[in-house]
Amino acid sequence: MSKSSKPKLLWLQSITCNGNTQSFFTLPDFIVLMNKFEIIYHPILNSGYTLADVTNKDLKCDILILEGSFKQDGMKKAGQEILATAQKYAKKAKHIITAGSCATFGGIFRQYDKNSISGFCFNDDMINENYNLFRKKLISIPGCPAHPRWIGSVLSMILTHRAIPLDDLHRPLEIYGYNAHSGCPRSEYFEWKIDSKNYGYKEGCLFYEYGCQAPYTHANCNKILWNEVSSKTRAGTPCFGCTEPSFPKKDLWHTPSLMGIPASMPVGIPRRAYLTLAGIAKSFSIKRLNEPIIKYKK
Amino acid sequence: MKAETKKGKKKESIIKAALALFSLNGFYKTTIPDIARRLGMSAGNIYNYFPSKDILAQEIIKYTSEILGHEIQKINLQTDLTTHQKIKKIVEVYFNMATQKPEMIEYFLRVYLSNREVFTGECDKMICVAGFITEIMIFFADGVECGELRDQDFFSAFGLFMGYLGGMAFLNGESILSRPLESYIDEIAYNIYHALKT
Amino acid sequence: MKIKQLIEKIEGEAELEFDFQNGLVNDVNIIFPLYRGIEDILRDREARDALVIAPRVCGICNHAHLIAGVRAIEDGLKKAGININLTSKAISLREFTLSCEIIQSHIKWIYLVALPQLSILNRIKPLDSYLAKASWSSNTVVKAMSIFSGQWPHNSYAIPGGVSCDPTYEEIIHAETLLDETIRFMEQEFLGINIEAYMKNQELSESKGDIATIWNLINKQNIQSKGKSHNRFIAFGEHEIFKAGEYSQNRTNEIDTSLVKEHEQPNSKAKSVTYNSLCYEVGPLARAMLAKNNRIMSLYNIHKDSNLIRIYARIDEMINLLLYAKKLLANLHPKELSCTLSKFPKGFSTKGIGAVEAARGSLIHETVIRDGKIENYTIITPTQWNLSPGTSKESGIAIEAMKGSSSAEEASFVFRIFDICSACTTH
């Protein structure tokens, strides 16, 4: 394949920690995938152009990947407002991918100044003026960071002209149609409403007391796993809901409750249905689930 | 009438008769033949519907709890009411039941709470009263969510609310109160609201 | 003559303004674009929110930010009279995951910065294999750490009183296997000799590994002895493998954190930092000096704090850490408790400092907690030490090192030897 026949990929960073760049680099087939594109600019990879070229010239671009939150003004790169550079290429690109929660909704860095810092097309879950201009080619891949496979798979789907069904926040349903709770090895404890004794145990659920947002967080982390081996809840850490426009909420290590009832229900479950089942499940004392899974001899 | 519905109707009539006798004479003094006699059926036939007196007692508490829960659910679904108005309506429902169907409240106080050994196994903890508890939980959660009620432990709020109503119903049942039970509704709703509000 | 250069792909960018006199760099002005406000974002949040928010300072050393954050909270709890005693399991796991993060960062510096940039300096096209090697080996290490931390980047598995994971032997063995694979890679591709031979100081002159390519490319540019700075080193993080202390005038001294001062800078969003009003170098070289690492000390006696030894210290640290990480896993016992703090206290007020050694040097977090909430949060990153503009009396560490470079390209490479992280610098 000659160089020019490859789709042109431009990865632009705004206000970011580079977490999505670093995360994407952990994709096992990163190099094979990236070789299918002509890299106009990328924060790690060698590219044909410098950042100054990208800002000052009018380069061709098929796929624009944005990382980081955007500031109305005062965030210059190579002498130009990065928002203006992003808009310039957004107009040309056939596909716009916002990689990570900052570029999608505003994320962590939006918290510094909600009046001037936002996602590229969303301010939290509200659309902004860019949305109206670019919605037809927008794919949201939120997450803090986005899972490498989310970015990788979407790029491959674009390359192979496959359909990408999206939800109303433009998140691909094949990824975000699941919730982070699906596949959690602690789900049996969730079913029987057995709380973890504390952090640091492989037994018990983290939803009731310890802040876990997995039942209402759209993501397939526990289905495809992180770094191919684990996930937050597998490591005993609550899910912090990082793929949602509400990320980051406050008081992240504690489950908000209304007189003892979790304030947020699992996605789509009516509270009355949840409470009826929860009340029944809770009244049984299941011996196996209240014991350690493994007993090591002293 | 389908056989299933017919069986359901019969079951309900057994529950109603047993409810009246249990709440009047107590759990142990009431026998299955007593219940059968009141219904004009044989004791053996009752066992076709309920395998034991314990299970019958458990079915009764589920039955009363669902009736009360259903009434509170109707109040919970009226989203235009303030929390104070909802409290007043719950008190009203409870006191109406205490005066018009006193056996229901009596059963809860004299049978369910006094004979805990009967309500084990399938009826452990609060499963049999889940229909009622669920609605009370939803009432509290809605109150906290709209900012009218203080967030606290469920049972400390539940005890204050239901213990108070149960106590008043008991005093009424013992004919100790000087006024009709309904005349206390406003005061009691006021007290409960002020004890639980933010 | 002034030359401006935008340095890219350093976890962001930095602008360098070189002042040349007689064909040599005479002074450098370093400018970072934007303050991102993490410290402000943390204010008024619950104390432990820092364990989720602070790692988002940096995509490449996020885990060090987590460990610094949890140490700051634990220090605060201790000062508030709450007992904090970590089990050896929790200590080992934290050390392991932190070591892995440092290793992956050093790998990326070697294969994504050093080898390509040195190739370019020598007008050679960088080999495609550098990228493949960086990808495979860094990901193998990151996978090993994620078995315990849940993921990388951005996990929050270190919590006050220990760690949130509760691994089995089966998982520990999985991590060991991944480390073994990384060690094999280092032996075959990077060192060109086996790791035991390396540790016994076997000569690398016969090596056909990538380490030999690095030496050759440096020697060809004749910059091995350049890049000298102030010969002052500091490390704040206490670890089994690293020693906290301060090294100046050929002596090692204890440190006093009250002598650390942050200074605003007029033209840049990065705050500079000094110790006892002096500029200090942090990072692998500083750590090697404080730990009295023989391989580095003997070279230091010849080359001082030059380009060569700064690079060698990073490479040597990567190898040391691989062996250290293996040792940590070998002594890990699942039956111990993961977390010894049974309930996180509410509404307490205190102050705490947490220091760790991150890939690029010492990282310090300071939290002021009032009624359980963060009243003030301060983060001092490694790059702030190395890139400080200096004081009225002396230039900063990296600036001093760049002085005397014969071109902007050479000076930029000297700058990159410090493994610059733009993100951390302007948190």
| Residue C426 contacts residue C33 (beta carbons within 8 Å) | yes
- Residue A259 to residue B125, Cβ atoms within 8 A: no
- Residue B125 to residue A282, Cβ atoms within 8 A: yes
Q: Please, which residues 313-332 of chain C have a Cβ atom closer than 8 Å to chain A?
A: none
| Residue B50 contacts residue B56 (beta carbons within 8 Å) | yes
Residue that wins the pLDDT comparison between C32 and C178: C178
Same domain? For A37 and A128 the reply is yes
- Residue A283 to residue B145, Cβ atoms within 8 A: no
* Residues of chain A positioned with their CB less than 8 A from the CB of B144: 258-259
Of A259, A282, A283, the CB nearest to B140: A259
The structural domains of chain C, with segments of one domain joined by +, span 2-425
Same domain? For A104 and A226 the reply is no
Give the minimum alpha-carbon distance from A272 to chain C in angstroms, rounded to a whole number. Answer: 31
On whether residue A181 sits in a domain, the answer given is no
* Per-residue confidence (pLDDT) for residue B110, from 0 to 100: 82
Same domain? For A192 and A253 the reply is yes
pLDDT category, B1, cuts 50, 70, 90? Answer: low
| pLDDT over threshold 70, residue B100 | yes
Return the partners of chain C (3 or more C-beta pairs < 8 Å).
Answer: A
On whether residue A236 sits in a domain, the answer given is yes
Share of chain C above pLDDT 90, in %: 85
**What CA–CA distance (Å, rounded) separates A82 from A68?**
10
* Residues of chain A positioned with their CB less than 8 A from the CB of C343: 198
Mean confidence (pLDDT) of chain C: 94
Our answer on whether C and B touch (3+ beta-carbon pairs < 8 Å) is no
Return the partners of chain B (3 or more C-beta pairs < 8 Å).
Answer: A
**What CA–CA distance (Å, rounded) separates C54 from C68?**
9
Q: Please, which residues 105-144 of chain B have a Cβ atom closer than 8 Å to chain A?
A: 124-127, 130, 133-134, 137-138, 140-144
Bridge partners, C370 (sequence order): C373
| pLDDT over threshold 50, residue C223 | yes
**What CA–CA distance (Å, rounded) separates A159 from A164?**
12
On whether residue A165 sits in a domain, the answer given is yes
Helix, coil or strand: residue A252: coil
| Residue C419 contacts residue C109 (beta carbons within 8 Å) | yes
Interface residue C48 vs chain A (CB under 8 A): yes
* Per-residue confidence (pLDDT) for residue A1, from 0 to 100: 43
**What CA–CA distance (Å, rounded) separates B61 from B128?**
6
Helix, coil or strand: residue B192: helix
Residue that wins the pLDDT comparison between C366 and C264: C366
Same domain? For A154 and A215 the reply is no
Structure tokens at C96: 């392991």
Q: What is the value of ipTM here, to two decimals?
A: 0.97
Same domain? For A153 and A251 the reply is no
Domain range for A144 is 8-176
Residue that wins the pLDDT comparison between B113 and A111: A111
Q: Which range among A265-274, B119-128, C354-363, C386-395 has the greatest average pLDDT?
A: C354-363
* Residues of chain C positioned with their CB less than 8 A from the CB of A252: 46, 48-49, 52
* Per-residue confidence (pLDDT) for residue C182, from 0 to 100: 98
Q: Which of A46, A199, A222 best probes binding to C when mutated, by most C CB atoms within 10 angstroms?
A: A199
Same domain? For A28 and A114 the reply is yes
| pLDDT over threshold 90, residue C84 | yes
Q: What is the mean pLDDT of residues B90-104?
A: 92
pLDDT category, C267, cuts 50, 70, 90? Answer: low
Q: What is the mean pLDDT of residues B127-139?
A: 90
- Write down the residue that tokens 């219940």 correspond to: B35
Instruction: Fill in the DSSP letter of residue A230.
Output: B
Same domain? For A105 and A225 the reply is no
Which chain B residue shows the shortest CA-CA distance from A281?
A: B127
On whether residue A2 sits in a domain, the answer given is no
On whether residue A182 sits in a domain, the answer given is no
Same domain? For A37 and A127 the reply is yes
On whether residue A1 sits in a domain, the answer given is no
pTM summary value: 0.93
The number of distinct structural domains making up chain A is: 2
Domains in chain B with CATH codes: 58-196 (1.10.357.10)
In order, the DSSP letters of B113-144 are: TT-GGGS-GGG-TTGGGHHHHHHHHHHHHHHH
* Residues of chain B positioned with their CB less than 8 A from the CB of A271: 138, 141
* Per-residue confidence (pLDDT) for residue A2, from 0 to 100: 47
Q: Single out the residue in A176, A202, A235 at which a domain terminates.
A: A176
CATH 1.10.645.10 fits C2-425, yes or no: yes
Interface residue A272 vs chain B (CB under 8 A): yes
On whether residue A58 sits in a domain, the answer given is yes
Same domain? For A141 and A12 the reply is yes
Q: Which of B73, B74, B127, B134 best probes binding to A when mutated, by most A CB atoms within 10 angstroms?
A: B134
Q: Single out the residue in A139, A157, A176 at which a domain terminates.
A: A176
Same domain? For A172 and A32 the reply is yes
Give the minimum alpha-carbon distance from A181 to chain C in angstroms, rounded to a whole number. Answer: 14
| Residue B53 contacts residue B32 (beta carbons within 8 Å) | yes
In order, the DSSP letters of A56-74 are: HS----SEEEEESBEESSS
What is the full per-residue pLDDT of chain A (298 aa) written as tens digits? 445 689 999 999 999 999 999 999 999 999 999 999 999 999 999 898 999 999 999 999 999 999 999 999 988 888 899 999 999 999 999 999 999 999 999 999 999 999 999 999 999 999 999 999 999 999 999 999 999 999 999 999 999 999 999 999 999 999 999 999 999 999 999 999 999 999 999 999 999 999 999 999 999 999 999 999 999 999 999 999 999 999 999 999 999 999 988 999 999 999 989 988 888 888 788 899 999 999 998 6
- Residue B141 to residue A283, Cβ atoms within 8 A: no
**What CA–CA distance (Å, rounded) separates A75 from B71?**
59
Neighbours of C265 (CB within 10 A): 14
Cis status, amide bond into A248, omega within 30 of 0 = yes
DSSP strand E in C254-392: where? 260-263, 272-275, 350-358, 361-370, 373-380
Q: Please, which residues 335-364 of chain C have a Cβ atom closer than 8 Å to chain A?
A: 335, 337-339, 342-344
Same domain? For A14 and A143 the reply is yes
* Per-residue confidence (pLDDT) for residue C264, from 0 to 100: 81
Share of chain C above pLDDT 70, in %: 99
Q: Which of A192, A208, A259, A282 best probes binding to B when mutated, by most B CB atoms within 10 angstroms?
A: A259
Give the minimum alpha-carbon distance from A30 to chain B in angstroms, rounded to a whole number. Answer: 46
**What CA–CA distance (Å, rounded) separates B33 from B7?**
20
| pLDDT over threshold 70, residue C186 | yes
Interface residue B152 vs chain A (CB under 8 A): yes
On whether residue A3 sits in a domain, the answer given is no
Residue A172 belongs to a domain with what CATH number?
3.40.50.700
| pLDDT over threshold 70, residue B51 | yes
Same domain? For A19 and A129 the reply is yes
* Per-residue confidence (pLDDT) for residue C268, from 0 to 100: 67
Give the minimum alpha-carbon distance from A265 to chain B in angstroms, rounded to a whole number. Answer: 12
